Amino acid sequence: MKPSRRASLSAFRPQITQLERRLFLKQGLSLGALSLLSGCTLKDDDAVDRLLFAMSRFNDKMQAALFDPSRLAPTYAEADVTAPFPFNAYYEEKDVPRIDGESYRLQLSGLIADKRPWSLEELRALPQSTQITRLVCVEGWSAIGKWRGVSFRHFLERIGADLTARYVGFKCADKYYSSIDTPSALHPQTLLALDFADAKFGYPLRLRIPTKLGFKNPKFIHEIFVTNDYAGGYWEDKGYNWFSGS
């Protein structure tokens, strides 16, 4: 788990840019795998692709069914916090966006009653809570961190979000984007985090959702929207499983 390993999602970038969404698995069919599969009617690349995407959607449904809205992620003591906390993004650490907190305004759109933008001061005036939980990366590694901020459920209720809508989406200053299911958004530990170890982890505002993998925790959020239309995400659109629950 050296830093070079940690950066391995970004190490895939050159490959990723070459790959179109529907094509990404074809190149994955190494010769060995092809000969393995040749006896199983899945000879055709497109059929394999379609099957794998269908299974991923099936896994979204199974994970939604498995999700217990009241089951809490384990919490840890201050002494367990991983230091230094690993940096991970689709770009290098030196390219993190630098945002001016004074002029920052969180934008709201979609199925929300009160779309008035929020300043940091206003967000800080809401009740704050702290959590120390384990962040699990899709790559396999994990780290324990401490985050403090506003209960996302409280915030969504406060702005009059349509809580019967299917998705809550995020747009970020680093051009990252993602979306989550509403039940997970309303989980008691889902946090709009304002305080965390370092600005590079998403200043001024990020999502901390311990019931999902790390890449479902968007950083540098500048807009939140509520929708019934599937909104995908940066990694999700490249082929990672959308639900990605923990």
Site of interaction with another protein (CB under 8 A): 1, 5-6, 8-9, 12, 15-16, 24-25, 27-30, 32-33, 36, 40, 51-53, 55-56, 59, 66-68, 71-74, 134, 136-142, 210-211, 235, 238-241, 245-246
Q: Which pair of tokens denotes residue 109? A: 């759109």
Residue nearer to another protein on the CB measure, 110 or 239: 239
Pairing mode of beta strands 128-136, 142-151: antiparallel
CB-nearer residue toward another protein: 139 or 223: 139
Give the nearer residue to another protein in terms of CB position, either 65 or 113: 65
Of residues 81 and 136, the one with the C-beta less far from another protein: 136
| Both structure tokens of 195 | 């305080």
Question: Residue 32 or residue 127: which is nearer to another protein going by CB?
Answer: 32
3-state secondary structure of 56: helix
Catalogue the E-assigned strands of the chain.
107-110, 128-136, 142-151, 167-172, 177-181, 191-195, 206-208, 221-227
Q: In what order do the strands lie in the sheet with 177-181?
A: 107-110, 221-227, 167-172, 177-181
* CB 228, min distance to another protein, A: 25
What residues have CB less than 8 Å from 160, skipping those under 6 apart?
Answer: 112, 113, 114
CB of 33 to another protein, least distance (A): 5
| Nearest Cα residue to 88 out of 28, 145, 150 | 145
Closest distance to another protein from the beta carbon of 105 (Å)? 33
Nearest approach, Cβ of residue 81 and another protein (Å): 15
Give least dist CB 27 to another protein, A: 5
Residue 5 phi/psi, 5° resolution? -70, -40
Cβ closest to another protein, residue 23 vs residue 126: 23
Question: CB of residue 11 vs another protein: minimum separation in angstroms?
Answer: 9
